[in-house]
Structure 1
Amino acid sequence: MWTSVNLAIDAGVAIGAHPGYPDLQGFGRRDMGLSAKEVYVYVLYQIGALSGFLRSAGTTLHHLKPHGALYNRAAVDPEIAHAIVQAVADFDPALALYAPFASCMANAGGESGLTVCHEVFADRRYEADGRLTPRRHPDALIEDPEEACEQVLTMICDGKVRARTGEWVEVRADTVCLHGDGTGALAFAKRIRDRLAAAGVRVATYTNA
């Protein structure tokens, strides 16, 4: 955390918390079936830990986005979504909540008065119901930078994404996620940034303006 915080400060980028299930071996990508109370406590605990490093570095938290399996669970489970939203609101209601468009988490955040930043994914495929294709599926990841760029531009400019099975799905793109542990993540990021600039899309820290 200390290293990441200082790298972010040096780069001049906003810092967000990324709390997930306590699943170290599975990198938080396995659903643990925790109760809403347990999720609330884990999210609050992880926000607090990061905020300690931020305070010592003289900066503040900008947003929160659940990680991995917790993110996917909160997208479709109203009880878990409300537990996460309550943890954010109790810690700092000024924090932005990153969530998929039309998801349980986005709805819960909006109902509670949080700023909701709708997120789309550059390197993941979508299902016809708007969910991400599960990672266990062989076609879940987008590994071609040009395909990722086209998906991102379509989501931003047209408000839709082509599902893995061919259907068009409505989305809203306030922020774009690109996984740092993917193959060629840095090259992906540079190529997407170049394509966004060429299309006249301004990249900036999210605000509710």
Structure 2
Amino acid sequence: MFVKNYMTRMPVTISKKMTVFDALAIMKKHKIRQLPVVSGEKLEGLVTEKDLLTVSPSPATSLSIFELNELLAKMTVAEIMVKSPITVQPNTTLEEAALLMREHKIGSVPVLEKDKLVGIITVTDIFDALIRFFGYGKAGTRLLLEAQDRVGLLADITQVVKDFGLLIKASIVVYKDNENVEIMLRLGTIDPGPLVAALQEKGYKVTFEG
């Protein structure tokens, strides 16, 4: 799962000379919350909707409406953008990108290839990737098995699935604190009853849902 497969390619960009008002208007038009700031193809910074809204004067300010509008009309993105933002490469794994966002408490990361901006990956993109990976919204069944971890465990389970002629569309293994593992299988069937019975016969704890 690489960033290049889930990022937004050719993202909307702006120059650092653009005003705060114009940047907000672009975000509203394209329904986005972040804008890479570029000069040609070179990334110079990143500005988010939160950054733009934060610089707006408080309603309690003593400035008049005319003075407020004049102030914001002159304020440019260069004054508030994040310079030298954290970036990733197209071949960065999705989990590495997610970890960076979590550690730095940010909602997006520009994607660079040889210093050229080629995309942007956002928290929403990562959520979409997880939804696709788990196969939600598609016909099939999700099985959740719990067992003690051992060599050949996954191979034994998949062999049982194979014996029933069923297609495994996705699989995830999660390690628990008690030396057990949980294995999620997304299967291409809406009737897993016989398979569940066979797995339970072999001692696996199994739950399933459509």
| Structure 1 length-normalised TM | 0.21
* Structure with the larger strand share: 2
Higher relative contact order (CA 8 A, sep 6+): 2
| Structure 2 length-normalised TM | 0.21
